[in-house]
Amino acid sequence: MFDIQTVRKDFPILKRQVNGAPLVYLDNAATTQKPRQVIDAITKYYETTNANIHRGIHTLAEEATAQYEDARKKVAAFIGAKDPAEIIFVRNATEGINLVAQSYVRNQCQMSGVKCQVLLSEMEHHSNLVPWQMIKMQNAECRMQNVESRFIPVTPEGTLDLSNLDALLDGVKFVSITHASNVLGTINDIKKIIEAAHRVGAKVLVDAAQSVPHMTVNVEELGCDFLVFSGHKMYGPTGIGVLWGRRELLEVMPPFLGGGDMIRSVRYNGFEPNDLPWKFEAGTPHITGAIGLGAAVDYVQGIGMDAMREHEQELTRYALKKMRALPDITIYGPKEDSDNTSILRSIEVLHQPVVRGPVIAFNLNGVHAHDVATLLDREGIAIRSGHHCAEPLVKKFGQTAMARISFGMYNTKEEIDILVAGLEKVRKVFTITPPNLLLL
Ligand X SMILES: Cc1ncc(COP(=O)(O)O)c(C=O)c1O
Closest CB to ligand X among residues 189, 379:
189
Instruction: Quote the least distance from Cβ 211 to ligand X, whole Å.
Output: 8
List the x/- string, 207-226, binding to ligand X by CB under 6 A.
x-xx----------------
List the x/- string, 190-209, binding to ligand X by CB under 6 A.
-----------------x-x
* 389 given a catalytic annotation: yes
**How many C-beta atoms lie closer than 10 Å to residue 294's C-beta?**
25
Closest CB to ligand X among residues 72, 388:
388
Q: Which residues pair with 364 in a beta bridge?
A: 329
Closest CB to ligand X among residues 367, 389:
389
Half-sphere exposure of 159 (CA within 13 A, CB side): 16
**Cα–Cα–Cα angle for 190, 407, 363, rounded to 5 degrees:** 90
Instruction: Quote the least distance from Cβ 207 to ligand X, whole Å.
Output: 5
Q: Which of residues 65-104 bind ligand X (CB under 6 A)?
A: 92-94
Alpha carbon 85 to its chain's center: 22
Instruction: Quote the least distance from Cβ 133 to ligand X, whole Å.
Output: 15
Closest CB to ligand X among residues 209, 295:
209
Interaction of residue 385 with ligand X, rule CB under 6 A: no
Interaction of residue 33 with ligand X, rule CB under 6 A: no
Interaction of residue 178 with ligand X, rule CB under 6 A: yes
Instruction: Quote the least distance from Cβ 97 to ligand X, whole Å.
Output: 7
Instruction: Quote the least distance from Cβ 333 to ligand X, whole Å.
Output: 14
Which residues are within 8 A (CB) of 433 and not within 5 positions of it... i.e. 6 or more apart? none
Q: Which of residues 125-164 bind ligand X (CB under 6 A)?
A: 125, 127
Interaction of residue 230 with ligand X, rule CB under 6 A: yes
With CB under 6 A as the rule, give the number of residues binding ligand X: 12
Closest CB to ligand X among residues 10, 207:
207
Q: Which of residues 108-127 bind ligand X (CB under 6 A)?
A: 125, 127
Interaction of residue 427 with ligand X, rule CB under 6 A: no
Q: How far is it, in rounded angstroms, from Cα 64 to Cα 49?
A: 6
Instruction: Quote the least distance from Cβ 33 to ligand X, whole Å.
Output: 15
Interaction of residue 184 with ligand X, rule CB under 6 A: no
Closest CB to ligand X among residues 49, 178:
178
Closest CB to ligand X among residues 94, 103:
94
Interaction of residue 182 with ligand X, rule CB under 6 A: yes
Instruction: Quote the least distance from Cβ 188 to ligand X, whole Å.
Output: 11
The contact set with ligand X (CB under 6 A) reads: 92-94, 125, 127, 178, 182, 207, 209-210, 230, 389
Q: What amino acid positions are annotated as catalytic residues?
A: 389
